[in-house]
Each structure stands twice: as C-alpha cells, then as structure tokens.
Structure 1
Amino acid sequence: MNKFANFIIKNHKRIILVSIVLTVVMSFFITKLIIKPGMIDLLPANNSYVKVYNKASKTFNGIDSIIVGINGNEKDIINYINNVSEKIKTLEDTDNVISKMPLEFISKNLILFSNDLEQEYLKQILTSDSLVSFFHALNKSFEEPKKGYKIDNQSKKQFKSIIKNLTVLLNSINENKNIEKNTKNFLLGSEYMISNDGKMGIFIINPSIDSNDIFKIVNFVNTVEKIIKENALKYNVKADITGTYVISRDEMETSDRDMAVSTIVSLILILIIFILGFKIFRYTILSVVPLLIGILWSLGLTYFLIGSLNIMTMMMASILMGLGIDYSIHIISIFLEYRNEGYNIEDSIRQIYLKSVRGIISGSVTTAIGFGLFAFSSFPAFKEFGIVLSLGIISILIASILILPSLLMIYGNKFKQSKSYNININIKKIRLPALIITIVLLVLSFYKIGNVSFETNMMKIEAKGLKSLELNQKLIEKFELSSDNTIFINDSLEDARRLKKQLTKLETVSMIDSIVDYIPEKTLQNSRLNYSKAIKNYNSQIEKIDISKLRKELSLLNVNLLKSSLALRALKENKLADSLLNLMKSNIVNKISKQSSLTLLNAEKKINSVLFNIKNNLNTKNFITINSIPENIKENYYNNGLYLTTVYPSGDIWKYDFQKKYFNDLNKIKDKEVSGTGLIFLKVIELSGKEGGKILIATIIAIYFVLLLDLRNFKYSIIATLPMILSVIILLGIMGWFNIKFNVVNIIAFPLIIGIGVDDGIHLIHRYKIEKSLSKALKSTGKAITLTTLTTVAAFGSFMLAKYRGFVGLGLIFTIGITLSYLITIFTVTSIISYIDKVGE
C-alpha cells in the first residue's frame, strides 16, 4: 500500500487529467442510454408470456387499451361519448375507438347470433302483431327451461343487461317516451356501454403504438387525457382514463418524480451530515467529486454492457450516492485525523492507504458481491440491477481511491485544526446488557419470522390517489370489468371457438371479446338462416288492443318476475334476484295496465315499427365469414392468419383470493397461447420472490469467503459477518411483528443490507487488528462508520418521501436494516470481541 500511496503522490495531476478525459467520454455514451420502464423488459425473452405478448404486439395494433370512464346522467354520457370519441379517432396514433356496439350488423344477423332457446323467443317477439302478443312472448321467455336454470358468468352478465333494458323499456312505455330506441336496446342490447344504474359509461381506445415504446405511449396518453378533460365540463360530466397504458404513464411519472426528489434530498442530507461530521466545507465538496465521477463512469459502462436502464436500474443514482460517499468519508476521516496530529499532506495520504484503503476495498468488494450476485440471476430485472449497481460500486471505489487523494494533494494544504466528535464507550460496562438485548431481540424475531409473506397485490405498492387505479376499481364495481385483460392467440377459427367455450364456463371471467361471437359455425348458420327466413316471411296481422288480455299478460309478467326471482335466489344469485324483485316492487307493470287505450295504442305502433324494421332487414341468404365481417370489427380480432381473444376478469387480479381462482381457471385452458400485462406483472412478482431468496443465501456465503481471504482469520471472519446476519434476522422479526410484507421492490433491500451491513464490521476489525485496541479503533473508525451509516440512511431513507409506496417500503426496510447493522457493530460486535480477546477497554 505504501508503493501505491507514493504512486498517487507522484502522479496526482496526471490521474486528475486522465479522469477528466475519461469522464467526458463516458458522458457522451450516457446520452445514448435508452430507458425501458416497461414490466415486460424485466422478464426473460424466452418467457412464454413475453413471447405471446410480443407476437400479439406485432400482429395486432393496440392489444392494450385506454378505457375512458364517464360519470354523469345517461343522456350527457351518450352525448359525450358520441362527440369525444370522434375527436380521439382523428389522432395520429389511434388505431380504433370502440364507443358503440355494431348494432346494425347485429340486427341484420340477429337470428344467426342466437342459440336455439333465444331463436324461439325472438320469433315470438319479432312476429308480435300487438302489445298483447309482445307481452305474451315476453312472459314465455321467463318460463323455466326443461333442464332447469343454469347461470354461468356470461349469462349472468347478459341477464343483468336484459333486466336493465326491460326496466327502461317498461318505464318508457308508461311515460310514452323514447319507446322505439328502448325497444331496440331491449332486443339488440344497449348501443353504448353504460352501467346498469345509468350513471357511468365507458368507451375504449386502442392505440397503434408499439407497447414497448413507453415515451410515445406517454405522449399519446397525455394527449387523450387533455381531450377528455377539456370536454368533460362542456358536456356536464366527469371523465377519467385508465388501462395498462395509463397506469404505465402514471407509474413512470411518479417514479421520475420520486427519483428526482430522493436524489436531491439525499444529496443535501449527505452534504449536511458531512459538514457536521468534519466541520470543514472544502472537504465536503472534494468528497462529492469522485462520487459523481464514479456514477458517470458506471452509466457509461452500462451503455456498453446493456444499452438501457429498466424500472429497477433507474434508481441507481440514489442508491450509489448513499453508498459511494462512504469511501470518501473513510478517506477524509483518516486524512484529517493525521493532519490533526501534525502530519504533512504526503504522510497523511500515506496513512490513508496504510490504515483505511484495504478496509475500503474489502467493504466495496462485499457490497459489490451483494449487488453482483443479482447479475447471475435468470430474472433479467435482477440481472441488470446486479450488473449496473456492481459496476457503480467498483467505479466509485476506483474514483475514490485514485481521484480523492489526488485532489487532497492539491487542495489539502489549507488546513486548520478542528474539534470533532469521537465514540467513547465503556465496553466492559455495556457488553453484558448489549448481548442480553441482542439475544432477546433474536428470540422475539425467530418467534415471528414465519409470519412474513409476499405481497401479491401490486396495488399495495402503487402510489396512493392515482385516478387511473381508482377508475379501475370503479370498472370492477360497475361493470365487473377489470382493465387488466388477458389475451389469447389461436391459429384457427376452430381453436378460437373451442377456447371461447372453455372460457365461458369460468366464473372469474367477466367478458370475452372474440371474433367467434360474429362467426357462428356453418352448420348452425345454415339452420339459422332458414329460421331467419321463416320469421321474415311471417305475415303479421294487426289486431285491435284487447285491454283485458293485455292486463292478464301484464299480471302474469309480475308473477313471472317473482317466480324467476325465487328461482335465482335458490341458485344463490341474490343480486339478480333482488333486481327482478325491485322491478316488480316498482309497480311499473301495474302502472302500464292502467294507461289509456290511446296511450297503449301509441306504444304498440312504435314497438311494432321497430319489430317490423328488424324483421324485414334480417339476413336470410348470406353466411357470415371472416371476409364478410365489417373491417372495423375484423381488424380487432384477426390478422395474418391469427385470431385474438381478449378476456376481462370479473374481479381484481391483484387481490390474492381472486387472483388464485383466476390462475386456477386459466390453467384449465389447454393448448393456449396466453399473455397480458396483468400476467406479466404477476410473473415478475413470482420470479422476484424465488430469485430474491436464492440471492440472499448466495450473498451470505460469498461474502463470508471474501472475508476469510481478507482477514485470514476464521474467528474474525465470523465476527465480521454478525452485523449482516443478525440485522437480517431481527429485521425479518420486525416485519413479522408489524405485518410488513415482501414485495417486488423491497426484496432487493435484503442482499443490499447484507452487502453493506458487513462493511462496518470489516472497518472496525481491520482497525482493531492494526491498533490492538478497541477504544482506539472505535475512536477513529467508529466515527467514520457512524457517518457512513447516517449518509446511507439519508440516501435510502429519502425514498420514504416517495409517492410510489414500493419505494417507501424499500426506504423503510433499508433504513431499519442498516441502522440495526450499525448498532450491532458498535455494541454487539465490540462486546463479543472484548469477551473473546479478554479486552476490558
């Protein structure tokens, strides 16, 4: 080390010059770094979800969507949807907008889209020639099927819509308003996607942007948001947006804000701690120079090795700032210690290399191992995190032991003696209480470690108050529809049909968006075309309204509503049962029966007019094929020989109970190519949990062997590992006691705590071996490790100012872990050494 010191003293100006040139070169390459904040970039390229997602992205535009949610009264919502959806269509990056159901196409092929039971019912309805026969047909539809009632998730959703549209139709007949429109909605379904209470509507935007082009996505989302917000007041509604793209935008903006805040706050706190610790501003500035240079070097090297930063490596600057300053603290601490004792600049620098650099290198290596073992993970998120952070640690180490002493050669001549604090502990007095407290904490920790679990609800680590997440919850409540869709790809229409049949049976599926809905099987189409022809050729005979017959049918309708309600309650479908019962209790059927003949005749004419138009426009000749479907429908489902099916879960896939059911249901689907942003998120969670545990164990083993090589003493190597091992055990105990869960973000804190936590023990033992005195070791090194702990806590603790709760949790766990490591080093490790070496100082 003495030769190394002499080299620095002799060549310090050349070292600074080379460093400046290298920093300029690296800064140029930093500008070429690409940011990839998408979750898909965190998974291996050969992962099945990634393969299917990329395949779908290349084949179909807009596999992920933006959902616009509008709150207000139904009339205003419809006006808003009609006008604003047209504006969105004109945007360059809009692929298509789904604002209405294709009712014209559905109406024309109504019989072809209907099953056997529905056909008989539709025949009776469409061939109705009076209000009496219309209600008679309606009553027939309530009759119990021969095989009994069977309610699956899809029919449940349809039933809710029918009840809603029936309620609206009955009210319009009673009020003699909008009868044509509501009759059409009753038969064909609502034209717009409006909630059953009529207070919320949605429409869906499919962008034509590559899902991985996050910056283009952000610009598009911002443009859409501006349009929907600006027009909301104009149409007297409230509007927000959600969906995968919107949540990705919100996460990116929140992360950028959080990283900027934490970086600035941590830098300010580090400078304050440094000034208070050394009381000389000049050395505070000097200490930051190698830190910043090292970060720039590591970013430049990242460009050559990876070429990009992901959502995890984006936080590297904040992490490295808290860790890298430690090296400067140890160097400045030794330099000022010997300058205070009267040494000149050259001799003080030699003491840096004799007394501190070996410990700095050992501490840096163990920290780099803590990061570096991530690089061997098969999980790309951890792999890149390990490469970038270990590069950063080594870069800052090299910059610190080369550049900082060189700067001290130039700027360390101006010096005035100053008083600084020292750690003076009566080890003999505190060692027994310290060990007892440690043992008690360990016992309490082991008692609760088993309670620590992994957080599967990603919403728990998201920022609070995000409008996109709040709207996503409203979609689940109002429409039983989650924006976290799942996509399937099939190579043939037959496979897509088979998939649809399997999906229809799943309770966890709310909506299946498939081209199968528009192309029935040929054999079915053939028989249905004949049925459609029979309905179209039926000659209605208009009869005069028979009020007594009408009242009989209306009375029977009330009875059928009650019977159906009881049948549904027996099937434990209480909500559906209640909706029918409420319709009966509203007395709307009795109100209609009391209307005048003139009013009822007017209603009959309007209803007959709708029935006549639908009947006369029925398709009776042409088979529906992939080529006959309107292009604006087909492009959402079919391209280049592939068929896309999009499934919307009926619940929140971030809630563990539903998530478990959903995945169990998906596993029942065989021969599937499946993906989706929700599944990708959950795969990231799964892999981070598995890989995090492996890395934790590997880090402890690797660090111990490094310590053995460095200290060359079995006893001291074990003692040096105690801060990291004991702090992790106690931290896990704290998590168990206070129900703090692991998640995809905070799990990375543990290998870091191990890699960093061992540093304090290394520095203390190195100095103790040189000084042969615990009090002298604590007096000098104790001060340095106190400052390094404070700066590290300042860096990571600043994460607790974040809006993103994942970063808050990371900052909290890291702060607790590093604080525990420090306290165990100062009190427990010194107590153990004093007993083993029989040192009474």
Structure 2
Amino acid sequence: IQPAGRAIREIRRIAENLGLTPDNGVTVRLTGDVALSDEEIGLVKSQAAAAALGSLVLVSIVPAFGLRSFRMIAAVLATLLVGLALNLGFTTLAVGHLNMISAAFAVLFIGLGVELEIHFSMRYQELLAKGHSHATALYETAGDVGTSIFLTAVATAIGFFSFIPTHFVGVGELGLISGAGILIGFLCTVTLLPALLSLRPPPAPDGEPRSFAWTMQRLADLPVRYPSAVRWSALALALCTVFVLPKVRFDNNPLNVRDPSAESVQTFADLLAGSTTSPWTVNAIAPDAASAAALAERLRALDVVGSVVTLADFVPEEQQEKRGIIEDVAMFSAPAPGPDGQLLAPTAQQKIEALETLEVEIAHLLAEGEPGPLTPAAETLRGGLRRYRESLAALPDPSTSLEELQEELLGALPEQLRILSRALEAGAVTLENLPDALVDRMLAADGRVRVEIFPKGDLSDHASLAAFVDGVREVVPEIAGSASEIVESGRAVERALSQALLTALGAITVVLLLVWRRVLDTALVLAPLLLASAFTVQAAVFLQIPFNFADVIVLPLLIGIGVDAAIHMVHRARAMGEGAVNLLTTSTARAIAYGSLTNVASFGTMGLASHLGLATMGQLLTVGVILTLVCNLIVLPALIPGGQRSAAQVPRRRRRRATVAPPRRAGSG
C-alpha cells in the first residue's frame, strides 16, 4: 500500500544516527512526489477507515428512532455488515486494490445500503401493526416495496457504473465497486434480512408510530395546499444557478486536496514560499542542440514564460574574464600548498607563534592608537593571550588545548575555507565536462535535447496555469511536465464527469421508461434530481467549497444516490391513486427521511477528515443529500398531479381521533 514507506523510514533512521534531531537543534523534513504520495496514502487509509467506523456507529443510531425495535435494528445492522463484507470481497477479486477515491466506498455502502433496509423494515413493521402475521407481512412487503427497491437499486447502480467508461481510473474503480455494492445490498435486503427477521419475529409495535404529518403538519401540507407557489419558487431558485455558474471554481492544485498539516505538504509550501522558481514547469524535446537553442529563443519571447533552460545554459558565458577574477581571489586567499600540492596543517609551535604575534600586534595598536571604546576589550584580550601562552608552557603537550581553542573560536571555518579553496580551483566549463547526472537529465542518447520551460508569475490559480500551458503549446504542441499534467488532468476529469453525468441520466431515463412506460412519471423522478444538483452547485459557491479532483464526482454521485427517493415517492403516489391523503403522511416519506438522515450521518463523517479531498467530498455530499431530501419531499409532491388531500381536507371525524392518538401511517412503497 505504501511502497516508499521503507525508504522513508531508512532516511529518518540515518538522520537520527547522525544526530540530526530536534534535541540537537536540527529538524529533518521530507517532501517531494514520493514523500507527498506516501503520506497521503497513509492518511487516506487511516481516515477512510475512521470515517467508515464513525458512519457505522451513527447509522446504527438513526434507525432506532424509526424502527424502535431492538430485534429489527439488530437484523438491519447484521444485514448491513454482511453486505459490507461481501462488497469488500468483491473489491478484492474484481479490482484488488483501493485508490484515493475508491477508499470511500465503505462510507457510501453504509449510507446507501441501510437505506434499502429501512424501506423494507418500515413497511414490514407497518403491516405488523395492522394485524398481519409475520409471514403475510413479509410476503406483502416483498410484493409492495420489493419492486421499488429493485428499481432504485438498479438505477443507483447505473449511476455508479456510469463512471466506468471514463478515463478517470480512480473514479471508474469507485463506480465499479459501489455499483456492485448497491446490488449486493439489494440482494442482502431481500434475502438475508427476511431470514434474520424470521429467526425470531419481532412483536407488533404497541400502537402505530407518530407520523411525519402529525409532528410537522404545516410542512407536510405545504406542497399540497400551495403547489403553484412551491413550483414557481423552485423554478426561480433553479434559474439562479445561471448567475452562480460563472463563480464555480475548480481547484486543480493537487496540494490543495491534501492535509495542510502534513509534514510533506508544509515542507513543500515552505520551500515554494522561499523559492524564486515554480515547481509547475513543462518540458519540450528538440532534435538537436541547434534546434533547442532556436526553440528556447522563441519560448522566451512569450509573455507567460519566465525562463527557458537547455543543456547549453549550464555552460557559463565570458568564462575567460570570470576565471581571471577567480585566480586573483585564489592568489590572495589560499595559503601556499606543501611539496605534495596539499595544504599543510599548522603545527602546535606555529599556532603558539601565531598567538604571540597576535599579542604583539594588539600591544602595538594600543601603544600607537588613541583610546577608544574598544580599548578595554583589546587590553583584556592581550592579557588573556599572555596568560594562555604561559599556561601552554606548563603543559607537556599543548596540542590538545590548542585544538580545543581552535574549535571554540573557528568552528566550521576551516572546512569552509577548504570548500572555498576547491571552488577557486575551477577550470573551464564545457559541454564535455558537465556532470554525467546533469547531461543524462538534459540530453538523450540519440542527441535529442530537453528544453525546460519555467512560468512567469504565480500559478496558484487555474486560469494562470492554463494560460501558461496553452501559451507554450502554441509554440510547441507536444509538451510534458507537472504544469501540463495538472491542466490536462483537470480537463480530463471535467470531461469524464460530464460524460458520467450524461450517461447516468440517460441510462436511468431509459430504465424508467422501459419499466414504467410513462414519460410523465420518468420526468417526475428526474426533476428533483436536476433541481438538487443545481442547488448543490449554488451551495458550493456560497459555502466557498471549490470543486477539486476528489469532490468533483459529487454531482454524478447525487444522481445515483437521490434517484431512489424519487422513485419511491412516484411509485407510492401511483399505488395510492388520485384523491389519496397527503403523500408526506405516508411511511414512504418517513422512510425517505430516515434514509436521508443515515446518508447525512454517513457522509458527514468524511466531512470531518483532515485530508481536504475527503473532507470536501463529505461536505458536498452531505449538503447535496439534504437538498435532495428537500426536493423530494417538498418540490416533488407539488409536481405530482392527482389531487392529494391535505390534512385540512381529511374528514372531521378522522381529525378528532388524531387529537387523542397520532394518525395512522399509510403503507410504505
């Protein structure tokens, strides 16, 4: 999972053995492509697992309010865990690994899988409350909600499978894993869940549970009593998306989807802040050195290009004049070499004589110069030198003391002088004597030359980065490098997600038309999905959540996630017929509400991750699910024709009973 982990640990071990630790005033930090990827993989692995565990805990709590039966909750959770295990097994066999995006499959399965089980369980529980036997309740539940659950599972799976044909491999693998997971969840819901309920059938609930209409009567009546107002309001809000779209931002900087507190990210940012060059460069290939020089001149004329480097640029110009200056500096700074050409280290006696000379010179300065602010310090130094030389005379071997004094006074100066001495020995630089590593990086074996192009200005925003890449491509069409990879990856992701969105909508439309053979019902299912998608885009702008390589999949995901609720609502409305009571007072609406709450609880755990890619994906999914719920429970009932009755239209005798006990729930679908 983390192939670079061993090498990174070895680097840290070597640094510790060398004493490069904070205790010694030294901090060693690692960054670069390898360190960034390794740290991100470890972070995503741990936080995706934590998000899955957290969502499982929260999802265990939400159904308790709707089912209110320990046996049913236990059966639902057992079915969910078995389905999750089967989905993980399918992932192992079909894909064999997880990537940065598909690591979120467990959270998606938990949120969506339990929603299927809630619809089945609430309808089964409702039939028990009406006096049906366990066998009859299971049989009618399978015949009633089984069809809609199957249709929603197929439609949701199609939404996920639409990612597979795209060129975005990470999303394609997520689509395969999650699409298969939804079908696995359906099979477990209609097979394992009834079997578990049959082991020890739960008793019929004591009285029917309080309905959605009884607790929020006015809200439930809103789309039925004021359908025109709801429709026009939804249309007006949807049209606002036209004005918001220009403000939608796609953040193509890969650093911005990582954890900003990670060591590799912080180190990269620090290096970038203190550097005059950008890491986002592009490279071109020229057939020979002459062509490379000509191409470099054309590129330097572009406004978006800061500098261009070829192998020839590593050979300095005006070398003769510069070497003359170096030789003059070497003559005055370098000590005379010994007979073997090496620098001679001074002996102990030479060091003592040098100290004596220093003492004499200080005495001359004090005698000849006028008193000044440094006079007391000079006298103290001369006295200290005299006492130190006297102490050396009493030692049998003064070498050790002299070496300690040299270390205290000069520290790293000798080594710096040696480095300077080597630098002053520089000779002529030609293409033939450049370092092999540099030549291998800039020159191919067949003579082709690499041309490295650096941008001008800050490329932190997508527009500047795209302008740089497109400007260079006008001169040389075939380029490669980090800048072009980021720009082209972003464009490929946008194309892939647009393809997935259209594919999902088209496939779901075809399936609904084939099953229902009703254009109106199909349009009613798609309308809240499109509205919720538009509202999610607006929310992303208002909440300042940019789309990035991770959360850009949210809109196609919402199509697959939100279609099930719309299918249940339309299916239930047609089953109830015209003139029926308010659709929002049925158990279908309650099941949708509880199912959406489980999705919010599941996806919300991802929103707390420190990895910004997982966090923004969880946040946008949470917001999108809430908006989808609003569209399905408020807008969709106002769009469904058929003359539903509001609570005010229910006969007075029935309302009088409702003042004593909560109204009875209608069947679930």
Same fold (TM over 0.5): yes
Q: What amino acid does structure 2 have at the position aligned with 1:723?
A: P
- Cα distance, 1:248 vs. partner? 1.6
Q: 1:437 to 1:470 in 2, by over 3 A?
A: farther
Tell me which of 548, 551, 564 is aligned to 1:759: 564
Tell me what 1:468 maps to: 264
Does the CA-based 8 Å contact 1:442-1:729 persist in structure 2?
Answer: no
Does the CA-based 8 Å contact 1:355-1:767 persist in structure 2?
Answer: no
Q: What amino acid does structure 1 have at the position aligned with 2:42?
A: E
1:407 aligns with 2:196: yes
Query: Within 5 A, what are the aligned runs for 1:402-551?
Result: 402-412=191-201, 417=206, 420-424=209-213, 425=217, 431-433=224-226, 435-437=228-230, 439-447=232-240, 448-458=243-253, 459-488=255-284, 492=288, 497=293, 501=297, 515-518=311-314
Tell me what 2:514 maps to: 709
Tell me what 1:799 maps to: 606
Q: What amino acid does structure 2 have at the position aligned with 1:791?
A: T
Q: Say which is worse superposed, 382-391 or 349-358, in terms of deviation.
A: 382-391
Tell me what 2:33 maps to: 244
Tell me what 1:666 maps to: 472
Q: 1:838 to 1:344 in 2, by over 3 A?
A: closer
Q: Say which is worse superposed, 315-324 or 683-692, in terms of deviation.
A: 683-692
SS in structure 1 opposite 2:278? coil
Q: Say which is worse superposed, 234-243 or 703-712, in terms of deviation.
A: 234-243
State how many pairs are aligned: 549
Does the CA-based 8 Å contact 1:244-1:483 persist in structure 2?
Answer: no
Q: Say which is worse superposed, 745-754 or 659-668, in terms of deviation.
A: 659-668
- Deviation track 1:301-326 (CA, whole Å, cap 9, x = no partner) reads 34444443322212111111111111
Does the CA-based 8 Å contact 2:259-2:265 persist in structure 1?
Answer: no
Query: Within 5 A, what are the aligned runs for 1:492-641?
Result: 492=288, 497=293, 501=297, 515-518=311-314, 618-619=427-428, 624-625=431-432, 628-637=433-442, 641=446
Q: Percent identity?
A: 21
Does the CA-based 8 Å contact 2:582-2:644 persist in structure 1?
Answer: no
Taking the aligned partners of 1:739 and 1:616, their CA distance within structure 2 comes to 58
Q: 1:776 to 1:672 in 2, by over 3 A?
A: closer
Tell me what 1:822 maps to: 629
Structure with the greater alpha carbon radius of gyration = 2
- Cα distance, 1:344 vs. partner? 2.4
Query: Within 5 A, what are the aligned runs for 1:685-834?
Result: 685-772=490-577, 773-775=580-582, 778-833=585-640
Taking the aligned partners of 1:713 and 1:798, their CA distance within structure 2 comes to 39
Does the CA-based 8 Å contact 1:246-1:468 persist in structure 2?
Answer: yes
Taking the aligned partners of 2:616 and 2:606, their CA distance within structure 1 comes to 8
Does the CA-based 8 Å contact 2:129-2:204 persist in structure 1?
Answer: no
- Deviation track 1:581-624 (CA, whole Å, cap 9, x = no partner) reads xxxxxxxxxxxxxxxxxxxxxxxxxxxx99999898635xx974
Q: 1:624 to 1:715 in 2, by over 3 A?
A: closer
Does the CA-based 8 Å contact 1:508-1:661 persist in structure 2?
Answer: yes
Q: 1:342 to 1:291 in 2, by over 3 A?
A: same
Q: 1:217 to 1:503 in 2, by over 3 A?
A: farther
Structure 2 unpaired stretches of 5+: 333-417, 651-669
Tell me what 2:489 maps to: 684
- Deviation track 1:459-484 (CA, whole Å, cap 9, x = no partner) reads 44433333433333333332213344
- Deviation track 1:60-80 (CA, whole Å, cap 9, x = no partner) reads xxxxxxxxxxxxxxxxxxxxx
Taking the aligned partners of 1:271 and 1:798, their CA distance within structure 2 comes to 14
Tell me what 1:221 maps to: 8
Taking the aligned partners of 1:453 and 1:398, their CA distance within structure 2 comes to 39
Q: What amino acid does structure 1 have at the position aligned with 2:147?
A: R
- Cα distance, 1:236 vs. partner? 3.2
1:656 aligns with 2:443: no
- Cα distance, 1:281 vs. partner? 2.4
TM (norm. structure 1) is: 0.58
SS in structure 1 opposite 2:29? strand
Taking the aligned partners of 2:146 and 2:235, their CA distance within structure 1 comes to 33
- Deviation track 1:796-824 (CA, whole Å, cap 9, x = no partner) reads 12221111223222222222222222223
Taking the aligned partners of 1:249 and 1:613, their CA distance within structure 2 comes to 39
Does the CA-based 8 Å contact 1:333-1:784 persist in structure 2?
Answer: yes
Taking the aligned partners of 1:733 and 1:610, their CA distance within structure 2 comes to 61
Q: What amino acid does structure 2 have at the position aligned with 1:675?
A: G
Tell me what 2:160 maps to: 371
SS in structure 1 opposite 2:30? strand
Backbone CA RMSD of aligned residues: 3.9
Taking the aligned partners of 1:789 and 1:782, their CA distance within structure 2 comes to 10
Taking the aligned partners of 2:620 and 2:474, their CA distance within structure 1 comes to 39
SS in structure 2 opposite 1:753? helix
Does the CA-based 8 Å contact 1:451-1:736 persist in structure 2?
Answer: no
Does the CA-based 8 Å contact 2:251-2:546 persist in structure 1?
Answer: no
Taking the aligned partners of 1:292 and 1:823, their CA distance within structure 2 comes to 29
Taking the aligned partners of 2:564 and 2:322, their CA distance within structure 1 comes to 85
Tell me what 1:675 maps to: 481
- Cα distance, 1:300 vs. partner? 3.4
- Cα distance, 1:644 vs. partner? 5.4
Taking the aligned partners of 2:559 and 2:532, their CA distance within structure 1 comes to 8
Q: What amino acid does structure 1 have at the position aligned with 2:617?
A: L
SS in structure 1 opposite 2:480? strand
Taking the aligned partners of 2:13 and 2:449, their CA distance within structure 1 comes to 34
Q: What amino acid does structure 2 have at the position aligned with 1:216?
A: P
